[in-house]
A and B are shown apart, each in its own frame.
Chain A
């Protein structure tokens, strides 16, 4: 069943991406001020949205673990966090490449970029911390605390472009009262978000299966040592 869902999601994601790439590269015109480079937004914004949503979801699973001590919540939290970190890395990398052309520099230490990088480092630290702790319950508890801290930082990063005057552009999407994009340019961004969301779901399911394998190995090892 899991394999069928993965194949279905891959088909949906691939179809939307192929159709949407045609729209983005062949049908949409260049942006008046930025030229062709503005098209990076179709990956940069969905990747960052998925990163932020993922960290928020991992927070819920982490709280679920702290309340119930059920390790399945921890497995979900680590799977979602790892995949969200990949999408946050895409957001950081594509943003930096866009900045090189538009701002003339690869990076500036403004509130949005700095807080998002800090967030990425916190969640990278979350994964490293988990490797350092052997006992499963302790590992899950430490991870949950770091996840809560990291998600607070993710929320600060999300709001930073409203709270402070940053070099990073203010909200452009109409769902965030931005309205900085021409009407025809906005829908392909949501289609890409949907396609990448399907891709994220696939990666989380595969990662989750690995977490189940790892737990089974732990259990069998304990059984082998008890013989």
Chain B
């Protein structure tokens, strides 16, 4: 038998049918659903008189639209948002799928809830009508975002029509330096490969620096595989993975745990497997980074200066001109001189307990800069509860942060958490697109530590100076 990558192995284990032209039918183990990309799919099922084929493997939670202020227990004020969430309530009930409603303590961002509840397991295929489904790849699961038509297809058939991607290896050697995090890894990779560098590929992240990451860190890395253009990001499961999963509500138990473990331990890329593309980055060379522009590939170390359009070639020249204009920045300006007025810590990229601990470590005993708006939005109700138990919430509140309920919040600003035109935000989320956090809003992506440091000084800051 020829050598295989981890992606090859998971693909082969889920292949239902392959046509002569390579068009394949792939079996889907877990289908995660949220309120924004699913109503039309459920409506499609109703109109065709179809059922959900595997309701027991379909998990829904509202996250994109939900307010994160305490008054949400009294209901969602925005009528359109409320209708979407109510539609999910009804669809979950009518079709008999697992559901974590808005006021359930387990509610949160779908990509945080799935792993937290033990739904995401190594070797699985996981899909969701959301591009950041790539997050689940941290478990060695083949996980990617799909459109609403595909959501309907998976609901009806538990399969997806796919063509196989190519294999790309991203190796991060050695160890990270102090102040450098999983977020800096994933942003640095995109900075190197570009937002289309991964198009047509599934990425496997490997190397000592990746192995040393916690599951939270690995999820941060895989989360942004999509920002690099890849269909999915993967990390082979190991003891760190198994330790995280064991005992979670939907993880296998007893004899099934042992059987699962035996299979999970075969889930790695063979030494002589074929890679279509290989990128290697030295962990020691990664610095704390921020984005300066309007594409996640616009990444630079915090110690750098704003680039000039003339530093680029081709279509990127015009893109840089447009980005600088939009961001209100001048070439040559120190990144660490850029003043901000908002800080957002949260999202499926950095809304887990470890992210909150990292931010709290910087904020302990400090205050945010006067006049700044700063919010922490935990990724789930359980993350929030744990942070309260650990005393992190008190640190945030004493520093001047708003301590919110769980949801996607200002990552995509579908709920009331938005930037106003011209406002500039230090954000731990994943996209700095024009208008992403609100029309005319300006986003700088960074790690939770860096965002916390920016909250204290009121400008983009090298966190290493505060450690």
Query: Do these two chains interact?
Result: no
Footprint of B on A, CB under 8 Å? none
